[in-house]
Amino acid sequence: MIARASSSSSSTLTVADALNSLVRHASTPGVNLYDVDDDIQLCIDILIEDGSVSGGIENAVRGDGEWQVFCAPHIVNLAGPVGVRFAPLQYVIDGGKIRSDVRHGGIVSDGWLSASGKVSATVPYMLDGRERPACRIDFDTFWIGARSDDKSSPRDDPNASGEANVVDKAINAIGKVGFLEGIATFPVLFYDADVGVVVFQFPPLKSNIAAFLQRSI
């Protein structure tokens, strides 16, 4: 068991220890954003303090594969109190392109929110007096809904397939208007390409997001 967050406990936990614990946690079947306890948060904090980005930001944005987000405090803190639940939250990076899918439920009907676009390295980001490498995510297509034959999986982009109906086109238009340039930059706080763990921040809410590489592509 990892010690609780404190100055003394954090000094006894190495980066390797923290990584191992996070991989065990994130690879547990069914784990989601709501399973982050003090132990897991401590491990994330240790990685952030270390700040290593293996291979640099150019290598990080080439982290092609299927990623599962296992920590996103802004989503839990904002959606939880009103009874909305988001899980799982996943994204795929492939050759500079990114697709994000999140399932929603709770007081709202079960369904999926999806977006796609491009991910690229950008200029470093000054965060709390420390320069961090950063990436830019430009989502340009938005859609909703599950697959007709499998409600547990998000549907593919109807705009790309030419199957978009009036509602699909409206959702895409609303998404484009709602996506602001000012929230497209994400400082990368830690990245280990060998084990597939990344931590990056959503600056407007100072939310540190952690994800695990489930499968390389």
- Give the pLDDT confidence of 59-83 residue by residue, as tens digits: 999 999 999 999 999 999 999 888 9
User: Any residues with CB less than 8 A from the CB of 150 and at least 6 apart, and which?
Assistant: none
pLDDT band at 6 (very low <50, low <70, confident <90, very high): very low
The first and second tokens of residue 91, run together, are 């994204």
The first and second tokens of residue 47, run together, are 């990685």
For 179, the 3-state DSSP assignment is coil
CB 194 within 8 A of CB 178: no
Tens of pLDDT, residues 17-36 = 999 999 999 999 999 999 99
Q: What is the mean pLDDT of residues 96-111?
A: 93
User: Any residues with CB less than 8 A from the CB of 186 and at least 6 apart, and which?
Assistant: 134, 135, 136, 137, 200, 201, 202, 203
pLDDT in the model for residue 7 = 42
Whole-structure pTM value: 0.91
Cα distance between residue 61 and residue 47, in whole Å: 18
pLDDT in the model for residue 81 = 87
pLDDT in the model for residue 108 = 83
Cα distance between residue 44 and residue 49, in whole Å: 9
Tens of pLDDT, residues 135-167 = 999 999 999 999 989 989 999 999 999 999 999
pLDDT of 3 over the 90 cut: no
pLDDT band at 8 (very low <50, low <70, confident <90, very high): very low
Average pLDDT, rounded, for the chain: 92
- Write the burial class of residue 127 (CB in 10 Å: 0-12 exposed, 13-18 middle, 19+ buried): middle
Continuous segment of H or E residues that includes residue 166: helix 166-178
